[in-house]
Structure 1
Amino acid sequence: MPPPRKAPRTIENTREADETIAQPDDGELHAEDATDEFSAHFNHEITPQLLITSSRWCSTITIKFIAELLKVLPNAHYYKRGSYEIKQIVKYAKNRNFTAIIIVHDNRKDPNGMLIICLPEGPTAHFKLSSLVLSKKIKGHGKPTSHLPELILNNFTTRIGHRVGRMMASLFPQQPNFRGRRVVTFHNQRDFIFFRHHRYIFEDKEASAKLKKGASKESDKKGDKPRKVPIISRLQECGPRFTLKLLSLQNGTFDTKFGEYEWVHKADMDTSRRRFFM
């Protein structure tokens, strides 16, 4: 018999060893999760309420992107930025029991950053935003319903990744409505977080083939014996589609002068293609 094939070497499976990779049986990590800023959310004590705004001068694409985020995120509300400082927005949101603020930054042409401030105690994450594709640009995109989505988080393996994953999860209610067949995915690969929004489609295999060929679905003739029709499932992307890269993670709410940072990305940290932080 031929010898078994070896698994191909990839950047992912040859990544540099990292002492901060979280283990499933890590009691210290479980103890931290039980008392961190997101514990009330995961204990079903609060329901996410999100305030979404933009930079002071934003482009039309940013407004369209925010409109699509409002369809993705349950209990999200848009407020026009105006001339308010971020600290003023934080104070306003705290007084009205919002659980997080999302600020979409842009360069007056396209969205290029996202700031997520968890309330009332933080943390605050700053991301670079890239590769944005709005729903209308996605071929065959579907229309999302108002059902609460199922959330999938992939490959958030280190301590920092675990924190970011819990932050993303805290933006969504913990009771997904599976009848709505909505799925939101945050997939971390090489420290890039890929966002996707899909819905499940269940359909008649033969009818699907006819529709693809341009033929209409014919009704069953009288007298025909009922037969079992194979049902197929597929994913239909709803959009939007974008990529995030973590730039910094700060304790507490937004504070550029006196804030304590848990993690900051610096150029001298990129010493190897096989070194990842999340």
Structure 2
Amino acid sequence: MLRREARLRREYLYRKAQEAKQHSIEDKKQRLKRALEENRLIPTEIRREALTLQKQLEFDDEGGEGVSSHMDDEYKWAGVEDPKVMITTSRDPSSRLKMFAKELKLVFPNAQRMNRGKHEMGALVRACKANEVTDLVIVHEHRGMPDGLIVCHLPFGPTAYFTLCNVVMRHDIPDLGTMSEAYPHLVFHNFTSRLGQRVRPASWTTIYISRYFSKPFLSCLQVSNIMKYLFPVPKDDSRRVITFANQEDYISFRHHVYKKTDHRNIDLSEVGPRFEMKLYMIKLGTLENEGTAEVEWRWHPYTNTAKKRKYLTNE
């Protein structure tokens, strides 16, 4: 099993290393194609390769343009099978953190909660891979209040690190009934970036997109991928809705159920929990290779990114 994991990891890293070369060839092919369609002179830097590139263009399938990347491999089976989520805590958790982990187990369908005990992170990740777990969720605390959330997609990543604030648990909301176990519909509000090619909006996901997203411009649509694939495909008649709403870099998590009162109105009820999330890092590896994994994005609060943001959002 360990040899197989090592081989799969090497193959994944090799495909990732070949992306730059493949993207360069694809760019040349597209430039040649545009020049031929517009009856213009072929650009000087690709004239020597023009005949070879033209032969390659003849074998390209219509609608299959583009180069697949390691980002496509991460979620290529999403939606084919229901995700399996494992939820655990930091070591020696308080009673409130255990309670919060139990509530998260109810939020994510098909999720299981495991007591952390003395398990090391490497052994925990290997056990999840052996049991075909798709995502490992770890919650952290500070003096009894949940303050951190880690979402690690298996087997190769990515791993997203969030801070939590303004956490209100179900137990703190009065007059709540039992939580519905129906697969929820998802709403992602105010998420956009130039990395939209990485997002594959699925038919079961409702996504509201605006043109502006503040500092984490490199990561907002990756976050929607990371979060939405924790949930399976819901049925059309599901009355459960989970919302991820971005406002000034803070992602508000809200959980509601609704029922139709008449042909024009619905009754919306919050079932909790609710909290605010703030992304501060995305790594391309898993938790077991945290020290060697490449950092894809990190929050730099004092970096002036106005020019980059304008370029990436195409404003």
Q: TM-score range by the shorter chain?
A: 0.7 to 0.9
CA, structure 1 residues 245+203, in 2 after alignment: closer, same or farther (shift >3 Å)? Answer: same
Sequence identity percentage: 36
Query: SS in structure 1 opposite 2:251?
Result: strand
Structure 2 match to 1:260: 294
Deviation at 1:33, TM superposition (A): 9.1
Q: Is the 8 A contact 2:252 2:275 kept in 1?
A: yes
Q: Does residue 1:178 correspond to 2:236, yes or no?
A: yes
Match of 1:168 among 221, 227, 246: 227
CA, structure 1 residues 87+138, in 2 after alignment: closer, same or farther (shift >3 Å)? Answer: same
Match of 1:190 among 238, 242, 248: 248
Worse-matched range after superposition: 136-145 or 29-38: 29-38
Match of 2:173 among 114, 138, 143: 138
Query: SS in structure 2 opposite 1:180?
Result: coil
CA, structure 1 residues 30+76, in 2 after alignment: closer, same or farther (shift >3 Å)? Answer: farther
CA, structure 1 residues 121+143, in 2 after alignment: closer, same or farther (shift >3 Å)? Answer: same
Q: Does residue 1:49 correspond to 2:84, yes or no?
A: yes
Provide Cα deviations, 1:40-96, integer angstroms capped at 9, x if missing partner. Answer: 10xx33320000000002111111111111111001000100111222111110000
Deviation at 1:232, TM superposition (A): 3.2
Q: Is the 8 A contact 2:88 2:114 kept in 1?
A: yes
Worse-matched range after superposition: 140-149 or 127-136: 140-149
Query: SS in structure 1 opposite 2:99?
Result: helix
1:1-278 map, 5 Å: 35-41=72-78, 44-158=79-193, 159=195, 160-174=219-233, 176-203=234-261, 232-254=265-287, 255-269=289-303
Deviation at 1:135, TM superposition (A): 1.6
Provide Cα deviations, 1:206-257, integer angstroms capped at 9, x if missing partner. Answer: xxxxxxxxxxxxxxxxxxxxxxxx7731210010001110110000212332
Structure 1 match to 2:37: none
Q: Between Structure 1 and Structure 2, how many residues are aligned?
A: 222
Q: Is the 8 A contact 1:134 1:239 kept in 2?
A: yes
Query: SS in structure 1 opposite 2:181?
Result: coil
Q: Is the 8 A contact 2:249 2:278 kept in 1?
A: yes
Aligned equivalents of 1:178 and 1:161: distance in 2?
27
Question: More helix per residue: 1 or 2?
Answer: 2
TM-score (norm 1): 0.72
Worse-matched range after superposition: 243-252 or 153-162: 153-162
CA, structure 1 residues 34+115, in 2 after alignment: closer, same or farther (shift >3 Å)? Answer: closer
Aligned equivalents of 1:29 and 1:193: distance in 2?
31
Q: Is the 8 A contact 1:145 1:180 kept in 2?
A: no
Aligned equivalents of 2:226 and 2:137: distance in 1?
12
Query: SS in structure 2 opposite 1:263?
Result: strand
Q: Is the 8 A contact 1:193 1:243 kept in 2?
A: yes
Aligned equivalents of 1:241 and 1:142: distance in 2?
16
Please give the root-mean-square deviation of Cα atoms over the aligned residues, in Å. Answer: 2.6
Deviation at 1:268, TM superposition (A): 2.3
Aligned equivalents of 1:109 and 1:271: distance in 2?
36
Structure 1 match to 2:34: none
CA, structure 1 residues 236+119, in 2 after alignment: closer, same or farther (shift >3 Å)? Answer: same
Provide Cα deviations, 1:137-185, integer angstroms capped at 9, x if missing partner. Answer: 23554532111111111122123111110110110012x1233300011
CA, structure 1 residues 245+28, in 2 after alignment: closer, same or farther (shift >3 Å)? Answer: farther
Query: SS in structure 2 opposite 1:168?
Result: helix
CA, structure 1 residues 102+144, in 2 after alignment: closer, same or farther (shift >3 Å)? Answer: same
CA, structure 1 residues 259+234, in 2 after alignment: closer, same or farther (shift >3 Å)? Answer: same
Q: Is the 8 A contact 1:187 1:195 kept in 2?
A: yes
Aligned equivalents of 2:75 and 2:236: distance in 1?
24
Using CA pairs under 8 Å that are at least 6 residues apart, name the structure with larger relative contact order, 1 or 2.
1
